[in-house]
Each structure stands twice: as structure tokens, then as C-alpha cells.
Amino acid sequence: LAKTTQPISMDSYEGQEVNITCSHNNIATNDYITWYQQFPSQGPRFIIQGYKTKVTNEVASLFIPADRKSSTLSLPRVSLSDTAVYYCLVGDVVNTGFQKLVFGTGTRLLVSP
Amino acid sequence: EPEVTQTPSHQVTQMGQEVILRCVPISNHLYFYWYRQILGQKVEFLVSFYNNEISEKSEIFDDQFSVERPDGSNFTLKIRSTKLEDSAMYFCASSEGAGHEQYFGPGTRLTVT
């Protein structure tokens, strides 16, 4: 599994766009990039997954450059309820099934009024 | 929206006792998982289960742990003889298929005294 590096914490204000970058220099050809969110005392929740370029859903966007050695999770116009820990995970979805999610320490996002 | 449920929400037990944590995965999901999170630490993978057998397990999942799908809906984690260091939040998750997003339950907080 590719090692990931993300900032330990980030601060933002309501209404701002937040970009959290994850480095995964040794990402393999079959690896996908997946982001999960975890609120205090709750289980992680899937946010978005992508392989290359840009993926967008109703919650976030994921930007992946051509070399795929990093990715950026973008949260538009955050609110107080977006305060959570955000995890970047990299794994082979296609061949191994990526059954085992390996969570790092994540990025603790604090959104203030 | 369908969700994974877990019972109990909090379990207190004495060291050496057996505990069974229960989960009801989302009904059409085929893969089931257990993770744990010691307070203030990372979410750790314990085991994945498919087609009525363990497909992968971590080093944490030793002989004291077992999983079972006793009927068509429940998925259980048994710890035979609890230790103080088993105190953690235990999360059950399920997914439609290998590599698909995993849906986590709200967790069971296990306290071993």
C-alpha cells in the first residue's frame, strides 16, 4: 500500500474553500485515491474516490495531477459541520479489491465561525 | 438511506470476560469488516469477511478474536478473553463489493476494566 502524507491539521472559516493535499509518491499503477471523513465518536464516512484528473460529487472535488503523486481534496464553502478528520487512502481497488482500508492520522480540519 | 447499525453502543466488561459485538450490515452488501480505534489513535483494520469466511485479517486479530455471520443479517465480533488494551471503539463496515466504498456503523465503545 502506498504511503500517504497529509497535513496534521488545518484551520478555516465558514464559507471558505478548503483544499487538503495528500502526497503519495510511490502510488502504483492500479492504485485509486480515496478520501474518508470522520466526525468525533463516529465511524469514517466515504467522501470521494478517483484515479486521475478531476472527480466531483455533491460533497467535494478531488484533483489528481497527471503524475498522480499527490491529490487534493477540495471542500467548497465549508460550514461548522465540516469540522472533522479527513483521511487520504491509496490502494489497489481493481486487483486486490482494496478490502483493507489503512488509515493514517489524517488531517484535522477545524472550521470556525 | 440504508445504514450499518451496531449494538450495543457502549459495553463495559471485566478483564478476562467474553464479549460479543453485534452489527447489522446493509442488506445487499456482500463484504463485511471490523475496525477498531483506540482513543486518540488511528482507525485500525481487524478483519474482512466474504462468502462466510475471513478473507483477510490483521496481526491484531489473534486467536482471541473471531467473527461470525450467524444468520442472514447479523455479523458479530467475539473477543474471548478481554484485556485492558482491548478497550477501544469498534466499528463494523460493509460494502457491496470488493473495492467499493465501505459504509461504517456508529461503533461500539468497549471499556475493559
User: Which of A28, A19, A98 minimizes the C-alpha distance to B102?
Assistant: A98
| In the predicted structure, residue A98 carries a pLDDT above the cut 70 | no
Q: Give the pLDDT score at B100.
A: 82
Q: Each residue of A68-93: pLDDT tens digit? A: 999 999 999 999 999 999 999 998 86
Per-residue pLDDT of chain B (113 residues; tens, 9 = 90+): 889 999 999 999 999 999 999 999 999 999 999 999 999 999 999 999 998 999 999 999 999 999 999 887 899 999 999 999 999 999 999 999 877 889 999 999 999 99
* Distance of alpha carbon A99 from alpha carbon A107, whole angstroms: 22
A24 CB-near residues (< 8 Å, 6+ apart): A2, A3, A4, A5, A31, A33, A68, A69, A70, A71, A88, A90
User: Which of A84, A80, A82, A83 minimizes the C-alpha distance to A113?
Assistant: A80
Query: Contacts of residue B33 in chain A, CB cutoff 8 Å?
Result: 99, 101
Higher-confidence position of A41 and A5: A5
| In the predicted structure, residue A97 carries a pLDDT above the cut 60 | no
Best of B10, B101, B109, B110 to mutate (most A CBs within 10 Å, chain A): B101
Task: A93-96: list long-range contacts, CB under 8 Å, 24+ apart.
Answer: A93/A30, A93/A31, A93/A32, A93/A49, A93/B99, A94/A30, A94/A32, A94/B99, A95/A30, A96/B98
* Distance of alpha carbon A24 from alpha carbon A3, whole angstroms: 6
Query: Contacts of residue A60 in chain B, CB cutoff 8 Å?
Result: none
| In the predicted structure, residue A44 carries a pLDDT above the cut 70 | yes
Query: Contacts of residue A37 in chain B, CB cutoff 8 Å?
Result: none
Chain A, window 26-55: residues with a beta carbon less than 8 angstroms from a chain B beta carbon: 32, 34, 38, 41-46, 49
